[in-house]
């Protein structure tokens, strides 16, 4: 079908004038199709220079309000690697609880408040209140609340944590609090299955689109990797030397974007829940595996929209994993521990963790306790090229649809990645109701 189209979707995120989808077609032929995005996190790297190693975590936790725990953990791992610190086994278990809490917070927020309204065809979370789906929304809010309370308990805050320190934790929850958390998580496990059943009734509304690409995530022999592991690719297998991360996450510049794109074995790759699922699904806990089956999600799945489903699967996995971690901690007997002291004052360290949107690297060089060089590889930047390539293959498949439907599908595609580019400032821009 011959068709002229001009789509310019500004403010896919709310960064001024950026985060845009531009599509121009003439006689049904694509003349311009761009995912335009601004760079932001690089400024934070400059802010780390000259700072004492104790300041690096609090600063980097402000890079993102949704992934502040993940940035904190990557920062601590890099600092501890540089300064020869080995945390206790107990601290490592608590850090796994912390990363589970954040992943749960972020995933249920994304699936519940963004993907579910798309599936119900209502545009935003607001119309769900008072609709026949309000019950499902209230369950989602309940799950989000439990996830936040878990982060609060383990990290001292829901956002921008304060208890995570170089060498361990400044304060730990007691046994009674952990037992209560376990009870809440057991309720959440049941509730999450009820939510999944509701989502499964409308999952057919995810566009049926697949594009073969490379997936990169951490991989571990002992667990579905979030906190520890080696960099792995669905194309090239395990890359065990973390210092060579830059040869895997190869960044490059494109004209339409001030944010760098990234590639490895192909012209683009994807990170995030679907990447982790594609690499590690055999290590999911039982209920999470059942949930994946319910949605017919099997590795390797090349549909980026299924990232939403992979997030739901991971949400359940994180609950099951947290229950096991609490059992381990309480069975071992909680020990009062102070953070382990640093051994060295200089060195280079690399911290790699999985945050909700994918693999995150912090790389610090510290001299005489001060940071002299920092590099942070952010998941969203790694996904930009993949979003662009997805669009290039997706648009010809939907070009005959009405313009509004094309716009919605392209927005849904971007939303499936939930790009993190706009949370570094939160000032309010307002008008008065009666003006």
Partner 1 sequence: MKRIGVIGIGNPLRKDDGIGIKILEHLILKKNDLSDDIEFIDGGTGGMNLLHQLIKFDIIFIIDAVNFNKKIGDMEVFDAKNLESIKPSITKSTHCADFLSVIEVSKRLGEAPDKIFIIGIQPSDISFGNNISPELENKVPIYVEKIFLEIKKQISNLSDDLSN
Binding site for partner 1 (CB under 8 A): 11-14, 19, 43-44, 47, 59, 62-66, 68, 105-106, 109-110, 113-114, 117, 123-126, 129-130, 137-138, 141, 144-145, 148-149, 157-160, 411, 414-415, 418-434
CB of 411 to partner 1, least distance (A): 7
Least separation, in Å, of the C-beta of 9 and partner 1?
9
Give the relative orientation of helices 307-332 and 175-202 as an angle to the nearest 10 degrees.
160
* Smallest separation, CB 70 to partner 1 (Å): 14
Residues 26 and 7: their CA atoms lie apart, in Å, by 12
**Closer residue to partner 1 in complex, CB, 145/266:** 145
Q: Which is nearer to partner 1, 143 or 352 (CB)?
A: 143
Strands across the sheet with 5-9, in order? 5-9, 20-26, 29-36
| Residue nearer to partner 1 on the CB measure, 106 or 192 | 106
* Pick 1 or 46: Cβ nearer partner 1: 46
Question: Encoding tokens for residue 213?
Answer: 């690409």
Q: Please give the DSSP secondary-structure letter assigned to residue 52.
A: B
CA 66 – CA 159 distance, rounded (Å) = 7
- Ramachandran angles phi, psi of 201, nearest 5°: -70, -20
Nearer to partner 1, 12 or 172 (CB): 12
Shortest Cβ 141–partner 1 spacing (Å) = 6
Query: How far apart (Å, rounded) are the C-alpha atoms in residues 115 and 124?
Result: 9
Instruction: Find the shortest distance in angstroms from Cβ 138 to partner 1.
Output: 7
How large is the angle between the packed helices 175-202 and 134-155, nearest 10 degrees? 150
How far is the C-alpha of 426 from the C-alpha of 435, rounded, in Å? 23
Smallest gap, in angstroms, from Cβ of residue 418 to partner 1? 6
Closer by beta carbon to partner 1, 146 or else 225: 146
Listed in sequence order, the residues at least 6 apart from 229 whose beta carbon sits closer than 8 Å to its beta carbon are: 218, 219, 220, 352, 354
């Amino acid at each position: 079908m011959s068709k002229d189209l001009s789509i310019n979707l500004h403010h896919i995120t709310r960064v001024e004038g950026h985060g845009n989808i531009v599509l121009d077609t003439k006689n049904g032929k694509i003349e311009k199709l761009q995912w335009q995005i601004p760079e932001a996190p690089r400024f934070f790297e400059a802010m780390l220079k000259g700072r004492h190693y104790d300041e690096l975590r609090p600063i980097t936790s402000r890079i993102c309000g949704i992934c502040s725990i993940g940035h904190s953990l990557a920062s601590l791992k890099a600092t501890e690697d540089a300064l020869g610190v080995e945390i206790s086994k107990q601290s490592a278990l608590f850090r796994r609880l912390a990363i589970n809490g954040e992943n749960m917070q972020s995933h249920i927020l994304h699936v519940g408040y963004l993907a579910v309204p798309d599936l119900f065809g209502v545009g935003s979370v607001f119309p769900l209140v008072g609709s026949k789906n309000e019950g499902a929304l209230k369950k989602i809010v309940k799950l989000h609340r439990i996830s936040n309370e878990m982060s609060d308990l383990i990290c001292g805050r829901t956002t921008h944590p304060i208890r995570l320190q170089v060498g361990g934790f400044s304060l730990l929850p007691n046994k009674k609090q952990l037992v209560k958390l376990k009870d809440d998580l057991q309720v959440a496990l049941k509730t999450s299955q009820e939510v999944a059943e509701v989502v499964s009734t409308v999952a057919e509304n995810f566009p049926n689109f697949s594009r073969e690409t490379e997936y990169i995530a951490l991989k571990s022999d002992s667990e579905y990797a979030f906190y520890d592991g080696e960099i792995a690719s669905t194309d090239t297998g395990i890359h065990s030397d973390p210092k060579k991360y830059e040869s895997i996450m190869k960044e490059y510049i494109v004209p339409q974007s001030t944010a760098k794109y990234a590639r490895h074995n192909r012209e683009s790759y994807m990170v995030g829940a679907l990447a982790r699922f594609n690499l590690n699904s055999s290590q999911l806990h039982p209920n999470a595996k059942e949930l994946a089956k319910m949605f017919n999600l099997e590795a390797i799945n090349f549909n980026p929209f299924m990232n939403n489903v992979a997030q739901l699967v991971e949400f359940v996995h994180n609950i099951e994993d947290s229950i096991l971690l609490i059992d381990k901690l309480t069975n071992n007997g909680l020990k009062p521990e102070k953070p382990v002291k640093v051994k060295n004052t200089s060195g280079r360290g690399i911290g790699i963790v999985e945050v909700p949107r994918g693999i995150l690297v912090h790389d610090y060089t510290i001299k005489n306790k001060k940071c002299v060089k920092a590099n942070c590889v952010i998941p969203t930047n790694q996904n930009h090229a993949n979003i662009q390539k997805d669009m290039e293959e997706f648009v010809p498949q939907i070009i005959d649809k009405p313009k509004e439907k094309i716009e919605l599908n392209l927005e849904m595609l971007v939303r499936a990645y939930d790009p993190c580019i706009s949370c570094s400032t939160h000032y309010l821009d307002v008008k008065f109701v009666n003006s």
